[in-house]
Amino acid sequence: MTTYTPMIQQYLGVKEGHKDAFLFYRLGDFYEMFFDDATRASQLLEITLTSRDAGMKERIPMCGVPHHAAKNYIETLVQKGYKVAICEQTEDPKHAKGVVRREVVQVVTPGTIMDGKAIDQKSNLYIASAVKVAADFGVSYLDLSTGEAFATYIEGDARDLLHYLQSLRIKELVVSTGLFDELYELASAYSIVLSIEDELAIDVVRYTPEVPQPLHAAVQKLMHYVTKTQMRALDHIQAFQFIEANSILKIDTHSKRNLELIQSLRGEQKGSLLWLLDDTVTAMGGRKLKQWIHQPLASRKAIESRLQIVTELLENYFMRLELQESLKKVYDLERLAGRIAFGSVGGRDLAQLRDSLRQIPAIEKMLADSNANELMKLGKKIDNCSDIEQFLAEAITDNPPISIKEGDVIREGYHHQLDDYRYASRNGKDWIAQLEQKERQLTGVKTLKIGYNRIFGYYIELTKSNVHLADLTRYERKQTLANAERYITDELKEKEAIILNAQEKSLELEYELFTDIREKIKPFIPRIQALASTISEVDVYASFATIAERYQFTKPQFHDGTALKIINGRHPVVEKMMNKSLYVPNDCILATEENMMLITGPNMSGKSTFMRQVALIQVMAQIGCYVPAEEAVLPITDQIFTRIGAADDLAGGQSTFMVEMLESQHAIVNATERSLLLFDEIGRGTSTYDGMSLAQAMMEYIHKEIGANTLFSTHYHELTALEQALPKLRNVHVAAAEQDGKVVFLHKVKEGPADQSYGIHVAELAELPPAIIERARQLLAIFEAADSDEPVVIEKIVERIVEKEVAVPQKEDQSNQLSFFAEHKEEPQHYDATEQEVIAELKAMNISGTTPMDALQLIYKLQQALLK
């Protein structure tokens, strides 16, 4: 290292402390990178890779970016999952002895980036920390840009932890070295960057008044990491809110994805519940709505309070319109508070804060004058921060520039000395204009002008053709140009000193005054954040009222039991995407004594949509929103589990069927009597008998052991016979009709099981080749015509079909599918001794107490006995 130049030695010393980050090393107007950083960054940022003499024989790789454009390059690297350490000059070059001192002033990571083009203003950007708590995990997470912070327990294994983090779109997780090794491979599959932090030496008393002791380590780890990387005051970080499991409606990550709460299955916001409900007009209102959808309430009192506010806003139509107009003029108070704490706030930011606070008294008055109880309570929560607004009105100009070093940020009259400097500067410029006019008259040169540049200051300029008219007894040559001469006079020198001194001192003083104003605002951060929280709630309530009115939603009613009643319910997103007049509403009634629904019907008939709409109505109701139904009487649900749709988890190395089984296991193990379970075609990923057996076993277990409200759809029509064995189970089907050989989906849920599946008709709608459709119809006829007196062995039937030995037998009824349950025949039969033994064993069998797998094994044993 001693053979490198002093500057490169300094670079390597700084880099040693930030090996896991790109080091942006400030050199003049550029941030430079060297060695491996330069090679990798040139590829990632698509910038030119050059080289530099570093005191060695070989030149070292180098690349750089202009400091004024660095933000975009940093954002690009962070979005790709990298960290960037920003190294600035911390010493005035004029006073430096040798190499200018440089230090890292901030480390930007995927979880701590504060702004940028890729940052969604209506989304939180969280960074999280996790620690082991017994067999589960303790998690803390915060949004550095808004100061919002939370802590909770996550039950389950590492996959459950990462699923939870993924649902919140958390990009960075801070863990200990030991947990890093455990999570590393799995975290990369979830696109979560792991950062190591083993140090807990930080006082978190201020942050943890509501947080249980086992979670303190997670808070300490996170706060230590954020403090270490940001290297500045974090006064805006609020106390961590503890999220209790029984205070919210728990929806696991799979269910959030299946129900398309935050984004559609295509990964877009369009087509999600958030997309439908988001009529908010402020960025913080949009973030609040997303938080509510992530964590619906599980307290009847709190839910009904929200619903009442929505009702009152619906009843005060004109007031709501005025309220939303005022809200539109409120900037993002939460992120403004974050920038104040970070010291990165500019003059324009403070002007936005001032202009936002000017809207608050009107909002407060509208709520107070509404004569509606809940709205008036909400209005009383508002601290209008009028003292802050008045201070900023006196200090900041109406339209300050973006950069605080350009001047004209501080309002005239705020500081006497600044006004004097400005007066001198402004009058000096007026004097310059008067001098220019005077010199034109004296010389008779109308093109004479007085100009200014940083090197030579003020000067009088004459073109070469007019130089002979100059009075050289007064003019002193300053600079010679190709087509002109520049002069200065004693009088101009004197005024120049006054003007430039006034301008320089004015800018210096203005910058000092602005930083002082910024510091004076910092103590008000908690008040600004509290106001932001209330205003964001008002925005969400107004959005709910607007959406309810627009789509004719109904106020749901709650009770303390478990029964669920939805009359003419609709899927709100599907209804919005299509013509409302074409949407077919459906009832869903789950009584306490009959709370399982087995849904059959053809593919594409709407089974999954019906199931999803029931869950969405429950979620919407529990976030305090009106629902798409004529009537909705609902229980307070503690958890929603869905098993709808499937796809291979390639990153996790799991097949579709394994994903299906894992999600089902999670639901069945964690569900309670107050949960809502949705299972769509369980068992379809394996063989017919395996799938059917698993489906029946799950239904029986839920019926006997859990007792939760359950919707279960299936293509195994044989399972509809369970209605006789399970008292709480009711068969329904989604109707379809055949017309001119084509299937017509009616999308109406009716009582009883479906009579057929119309699978080939659906394939025909998908425009499979006609030859395949015709062959499928032939094969279906052969399967349906199989002699029910013989044991059904699919392999033998297929073998005979392939060998073209089977003619299609004619039967009176060809609509029946292969029956999983043996048909009882009334006509007398004659049996030999072996058959009598089989019959006796069948009569002695306890059907209701036998699992499907045991039944299959018994059938196989009896069949073998008959074949001997």
More confident residue, 649 or 696: 696
CA atoms of 144 and 129, how far apart (whole Å): 13
Q: Is residue 762 part of a domain?
A: no
For 429, other C-beta atoms within 10 Å of its C-beta total 15
Residue at which a domain ends, from 732, 754, 776: 754
Q: Is residue 796 part of a domain?
A: no
The CATH number assigned to the domain holding 92 equals 3.40.1170.10
Residue 496, pLDDT score = 82
Phi, psi for 73 (deg, rounded to 5): -70, -40
- Residues 6+ positions from 737 with CB-CB distance below 8 Å: 743, 744, 746
Q: Could you give the percent of the chain with pLDDT greater than 70?
A: 87
Binding residues for ATP: 601-608
749-790 pLDDT tens trace: 989 887 666 666 666 766 778 787 777 777 777 766 654 444
In this predicted structure, the answer to whether residue 806 has a pLDDT above a threshold of 50 is: no
Residues in the chain: 868
The arrangement of strands across the sheet holding 639-643 comes to 250-251, 639-643, 676-680, 709-713, 596-600, 729-739, 742-751
560 and 547 together in one domain: no
Residue at which a domain ends, from 754, 770, 803: 754
Q: Contact 107/83 with Cβ under 8 angstroms?
A: yes
CA atoms of 677 and 291, how far apart (whole Å): 23
181 and 99 together in one domain: no
In this predicted structure, the answer to whether residue 433 has a pLDDT above a threshold of 70 is: yes
343 and 434 together in one domain: yes
CA atoms of 84 and 550, how far apart (whole Å): 47
More confident residue, 653 or 467: 467
* Residue 690: both structure tokens together: 């395996």
549: left (phi over 0), alpha (psi -120 to 50) or beta: alpha
- Residues 6+ positions from 673 with CB-CB distance below 8 Å: 562, 706, 707, 708
Pairing of strands 241-242, 149-154: parallel
Residue at which a domain ends, from 208, 243, 278: 243
More confident residue, 106 or 736: 106
Three-class DSSP category at 337: helix
Binding residues: 601-608
Three-class DSSP category at 239: coil
CA atoms of 710 and 713, how far apart (whole Å): 10
Q: Contact 287/539 with Cβ under 8 angstroms?
A: no
Q: Is residue 596 part of a domain?
A: yes
Q: What is the mean pLDDT of residues 369-387?
A: 94
Q: What is the tally of structural domains in the chain?
A: 5
259 pLDDT band (50/70/90 cuts)?
very high
Q: Is residue 322 part of a domain?
A: yes
58 pLDDT band (50/70/90 cuts)?
confident
The CATH number assigned to the domain holding 528 equals 1.10.1420.10
Q: What is the mean pLDDT of residues 423-442?
A: 85
613 and 727 together in one domain: yes
Alpha helices in 69-157 (DSSP H): 70-79
In this predicted structure, the answer to whether residue 798 has a pLDDT above a threshold of 60 is: no
395-427 pLDDT tens trace: 999 999 988 888 889 999 999 989 888 888 788
Q: What is the mean pLDDT of residues 704-733?
A: 90
Pairing of strands 631-635, 557-559: parallel
537 and 421 together in one domain: yes
Q: Contact 705/728 with Cβ under 8 angstroms?
A: no
Q: Is residue 425 part of a domain?
A: yes
Q: Is residue 275 part of a domain?
A: no
Residue 805, pLDDT score = 44
Q: Is residue 609 part of a domain?
A: yes
- Residues 6+ positions from 43 with CB-CB distance below 8 Å: none
324 and 375 together in one domain: yes
735 and 831 together in one domain: no
323 and 340 together in one domain: yes
Residue 117, pLDDT score = 73
Least confident of 255-264, 480-489, 737-746: 737-746
Q: Could you give the percent of the chain with pLDDT greater than 90?
A: 54
Range of the domain at 616: 554-754
577 and 673 together in one domain: yes
The CATH number assigned to the domain holding 705 equals 3.40.50.300
614 and 729 together in one domain: yes
More confident residue, 663 or 761: 663
206 and 317 together in one domain: no
156 pLDDT band (50/70/90 cuts)?
confident
Distances (CA, A) of 441 to 242, 436, 450: 79, 9, 14
For 107, other C-beta atoms within 10 Å of its C-beta total 20
528 and 654 together in one domain: no
The string of DSSP letters for 687-719 reads -HHHHHHHHHHHHHHIIIII--EEEEE-S-GGG
CA atoms of 86 and 686, how far apart (whole Å): 54
444-467 pLDDT tens trace: 899 999 998 877 888 999 999 888
Distances (CA, A) of 322 to 542, 791, 838: 11, 75, 81
Least confident of 452-461, 553-562, 681-690: 681-690
Distances (CA, A) of 312 to 285, 367, 555, 672, 697: 19, 10, 12, 35, 48
Q: Contact 324/542 with Cβ under 8 angstroms?
A: yes
Distances (CA, A) of 211 to 125, 139, 207, 453: 21, 11, 8, 61
Q: Is residue 633 part of a domain?
A: yes
The CATH number assigned to the domain holding 210 equals 3.30.420.110
